[in-house]
Amino acid sequence: MRALVRTIGTDIGAAAPTVRPEHWERIEAAAAEVLSVNTRRAYATAWRAWSAWCGKEGVEPLPAEPVLVAAHLAERAEAGAGISTLRAAVAAIAYEHGSRGAPSPAVHPGVRRVLRGIARKRASEGRTPQQAAALTAEALAAIRETAHRPRTSPGGRTESAERARRRGDMDVAIVTVMRDAMLGRSEAAALTWADVELLADGTGRITVRRSKADQAGEGAELFIGQDATTALERICPESPAPESPVFGGLGDRAIADRIRKAARAAGLEGDFSGHSPRIGMARDLAASGASTTALMLAGRWRSERMPALYARGEIAGRGPVARYYGVA
């Protein structure tokens, strides 16, 4: 990170500056905030893998030659790494080079060609990235119906009725609120009771302070329906502290795990995850006639690509061919 200061000095046409220790700390803290916690974690993992590979090859990880990055990607692809993992590796290498003032090998046309070639080969083999199962209104109803049934652990221990009730209340609140507000799992984990407003008409508003798509922290105010507000009322402690987490301090991975287990207990098939409520609502909105642009705004996507992918079946069902046959 110290190299960042020298890079800043060079960018503004100054010589490498002399910076007091307290300035180092402030600069490092501010620069670290350019990435979310999850992105920093993913980049750190990818950078360790790259550094280990370079150590095995007897070369330095930074500055890196494009041909070495391409070789790293090709070897990891052959070992079975997914295309999203490889893209994260390229992004991490680019970030580390940029933050240390070194030219990024990731922008080299050869590296980009290798990455595109791996993606195309995977697609031709039918190994495209798998989309999480959609937690649609139908899936939500199945979870709500089964959420409070006592479960038996792998060790054979069955929940008490009271424990099942409390766990079921939390599961229903998680999936219902995440669907209505189209929250990502990290957004759900970050919610506090200060972010929740229950209105007299039975609906509510959720304030998201910051998200992956909102790195500037502008925030968003999101609608939730009566089922979601009722679910929140069932898990709300008496006089909760405003800063206390809505979902009991569960982290983003724990929230994804709760969704997966709730779906399995409801007998739902598919790979349910922390993305499932968001995808399910996108599909339901598209089926109700919402445009791709409306989906983008509701889900706070920065482009139409992801909502169009998630709801492609519903969009096709009301497209020009469907209208031609009078079924749209």
Tell me the per-residue pLDDT of 207-226, one tens digit each, with 9 for 90 and over.
Answer: 998 766 555 567 799 999 99
In this structure, the answer to whether residues 46 and 106 fall within a common structural domain is: yes
Angle, alpha carbons 78-80-105 (nearest 5°): 65
Both 144 and 248 in one domain: the answer is yes
The two tokens of residue 125 are: 């083999």
**Alpha helices for 79-218 (secondary structure H):** 83-99, 109-124, 137-146, 161-181, 185-190
The residue among 231, 128, 119 whose CA lies nearest residue 175 is: 231
**Gap between the Cα atoms of 126 and 105, Å rounded:** 29
Task: Give the dihedral of Cα atoms 191, 194, 198, 200; nearest 10 deg.
Answer: -160
Total number of domains in the chain: 2
| pLDDT of amino acid 311 | 87
Q: Which of 268, 296, 318 is the last residue of a domain?
A: 268
Both tokens assigned to 66: 């494009």
For the stretch 45-72, pLDDT in tens is: 999 999 999 999 999 999 999 999 999 9
Pair 83, 146 in one domain:
no
Spans of the chain, pLDDT less than 50: 1-16
Is residue 259 domain-resident?
Answer: yes
Q: What is the pLDDT of residue 69?
A: 95
Q: What confidence score (pLDDT) does residue 312 get?
A: 85
- Are residue 141 and residue 119 in the same domain, yes or no? no
pTM value is 0.69
237 plus 187 within the same structural domain: yes
Q: Identify whether residues 101 and 146 lie together within a single domain.
A: no
Strand order of the β-sheet with 196-198 is 196-198, 204-208, 220-224
- Taking residue 279's Cβ as centre, other Cβ atoms within 10 Å add up to 25
d(CA 35, CA 48) in angstroms, rounded, equals: 17
Q: In sequence order, what are the residues at sequence separation of 6 or more whose Cβ sits closer than 8 angstroms to the Cβ of residue 51?
A: 61
Q: Which of 239, 268, 297 is the last residue of a domain?
A: 268
Does some domain include residue 100? yes
21 within a domain of the structure (yes/no)? no
Q: How many whole angstroms separate alpha carbon 278 and alpha carbon 282? A: 6
**Are 232 and 195 within one domain?**
yes
Q: Are residue 179 and residue 141 in the same domain, yes or no?
A: yes
33 token code pair:
């905030």
Domain limits at 186? Answer: 137-268
